[in-house]
Structure formats: C-alpha cells, structure tokens
Amino acid sequence: MAAETKTKYPYPFPIVPRAALWFGIAIFLIVAGLGKMAYNKSTTGSALAWGIDFTGGAAYVYSFDPELPGANAPDTIAQVREAAGAAVDLSGAAIQVFPQGNQVQIRTKTGSEAKDTTTASHQAATEGAAIESALAAKFGDVEMVQHELVGPVIGEMLRKQAILALIIGILLIMVYVYIRYNIAGLGGGWLFGLSAAISVLHDAVLLTLVYAFTGHDVDTTYIASLLTVIGFSMQDTVVIFDRIRENLRKLDPLQRRQKVHLEAVVEASVWQTMTRSLITTLTTIAPLLLLALMGGVGIRNFAFAMMAGMLAGAYSSIFLAAPLLLKMQEAAGRRAAARGDAPRIERPVRA
C-alpha cells in the first residue's frame, strides 16, 4: 500500500487559518493596556500622562553640561526634583530624562489656572528661571533650552479637536473603502470599509496604550503621529484588499460562496503582498530609530510614537484586516442564508 502523502503548506506559516490566535494577541494587548491605564488612574489620578497641550501648564527642558547627575534615570529625577524643589513647588510636577542629549524635562501646572495669557506667561517665566538657577547652583552648567506654555482653555479645545479629528478620519476611511470596493466580490464595500475601520481603530487604541505603559506625554505630537500612522496602515490594508479583489475575480460565483476557496484567496493575497508590507514598515522605522536616538526632545517623542504606531499598523494590516474581512463575510453569508437571500457559505465536505 502506497504511503499517504501530505501536501506541503505553500507559505511559511498560516495566517487566515489562525485568525483566532492573531485576534487573541490583539485582545490580550488591549486588555493589558487597559489594566495599566486603570493602575495609572488609581496611583496618579490620570490614566494617561496628558501633556500641557491638553491640560494647560508649563514645560521646561534643561540641558546639563557635561553630563546628567545621578547614576541612572530614577536617580537623576530624584536629584533634579530635590534641587528644583528647593526653589519652586514641584508637587504634581512630572520630570522626564532624555540621556541622549543630557536633557531633563520638567512639566508643571503653572499658568493653567491663570485668567489671562499675560499672567500665565509671567508665572511660567518666573518659575522657569527659578528652576534654572536652582539647578545651576547645584549641578554647575545648566541651561534652559526650551520653554512651552499652554493655557487651560486652549488645552481643552485641542483635546476636543483631536478626538473629532480621529472620528472624522476613521469615518472618511470607511467611506473611501466602501466606494472603492463596492463591487461584486467579497461581501461588498461595506464589509471592506468596516474591517479597515476596525483595524485602524486597533492601531489608535494600541498606540494610546503604549503611551500608558511608557508614560510619554499625550500631546499634539501624539495626535500628528496617530493620524500619520492611520494613513500608513490604511495604505497597507488597501494594497492587501486590492490583491484580494483581483484574486476574487479569478473565481466563479459558486467558488466565491465556498469557505475553502475564500480562505485560500485571502491567505494567498496576504502573502503576495507580505514583502511589500514588511519593506514599507522597515524602511520607515529605520530613519525614525535614528531620530529617536539622535533628535531633540520634540523629535524623539514624534519618532517614538511613529515607531510604535507603525508596528501596530503593520500587525493590523497583515494579521487582522484580511482575516477580519473574511470572518465578517462569513457571518454576513450566514445571516443572508437564514433570511433565504443567499446560499449559506460553508466549507465543502471532503471524503
């Protein structure tokens, strides 16, 4: 009797057949992030480290020459807080260390409760100079290289505008994908649009949760990075969806209603665009890594957000968007079959 032969899987590993695994990883990361946000809320009073762009207040960046005090970041923060706290009230202030540039950022709520911009600016200038003098008296050559002030009214307005920009962006993405893919194919344009919207929403949530874990400031740089990442992620997703649409046209109407053929098309489409997706992500992350290591404070924050968002976007485009599209199409097919509108989509029985 001839030995039974098995067909070798044509790709390095399965993506669509293991959709539950990829969904589970995403859900685990989100749940862990939400847990971290809850912990932050219970310990610091805020789930995220809102920057002064949203809360109002002042931020100062001081450069130390030739090096930062302390053996490590926590030690540096403790010494800076002790020295600056002798001159001003730093209760509720946040201190962040940037060892690449021998810089320390101090964020306070000074000016957030002032009734006018002139008063807030005067309060912040006085505080910034006092901190600089106190640090220079203890550590030697210290210079304030950056000073930023945002009033509370502007901060609240920016927060509302940021949320509105995110909502409008996701809705426009859904409309664009619906129009682009509202043709005969895998469930029509609305399924493509919904799966794309869920994927980019995953990117937004995951990037926000990364900020919760790392303690980076959620400011306008974060919003700019988020919207840019959504654009990159959407571009990758559309490339995969285009390939799915092209491959679907090779199937006859009966095959399009059979799960085994749909899975094969989606799996093949993801792998056919895999190289392009990985190269796009890596070539974008490479210069961002250099910016994160060598740039100034503002540039480093932007580069960090972009790198985290690009990784989240690559994951959602490859492992979430296409499998999610297939799962939603199957659910839509079952509902249509239950109503008698269409044959149920199911895997053919093999002997």
Dump pLDDT digits (tens) for 235-292. Answer: 889 899 889 888 888 877 777 667 788 888 899 999 999 999 999 999 999 999 988 8
> Do 188 and 250 sit in the same domain of this protein?
yes
Last residue in a domain, options 101, 124, 150: 150
Do 180 and 123 share a structural domain?
no
Domain carrying residue 191: 155-339
Q: Facing residues of 60 across strands? A: 106, 147
Residue 17, phi then psi, degrees to nearest 5:
-60, -20
Q: Pick the residue with more confidence: 179 or 141? A: 141
Residue 135 structure tokens: 């640090």
CA–CA gap between residue 116 and residue 275 (Å, rounded): 55
Q: Which of 348, 135, 156, 162 is nearest to 259 (CA)?
A: 348
Q: Please tell me the distance from the alpha carbon of residue 274 to that of residue 143, in angstroms, as a whole number.
A: 48
The CATH number of whichever domain residue 66 belongs to comes to 3.30.70.100
Segment 85-106 shows an average pLDDT of: 83
Chain mean pLDDT for the chain: 82
SS3 84: helix
Contact status, residue 146 vs residue 62, Cβ threshold 8 Å: no
SS3 179: helix
Final residue before a domain boundary, out of 116, 150, 184: 150
Rounded to two decimals, the pTM is 0.72
On whether residue 299 sits in a domain, the answer given is yes
Residues 110 and 170 in one domain: no
CA nearest neighbour of 60 among 87, 24, 29, 30: 87
Question: Is-contact 232 183, C-beta < 8 A?
Answer: no
| 311 is a domain residue | yes
Q: Say which residue the tokens 């509720």 belong to.
A: 92
**Running DSSP on this structure, what letter comes out for residue 49?**
-
225 close to 309: Cβ distance less than 8 angstroms: yes
Element (H, E) at 60: strand 57-65
Mean pLDDT of the 307-325 span = 92
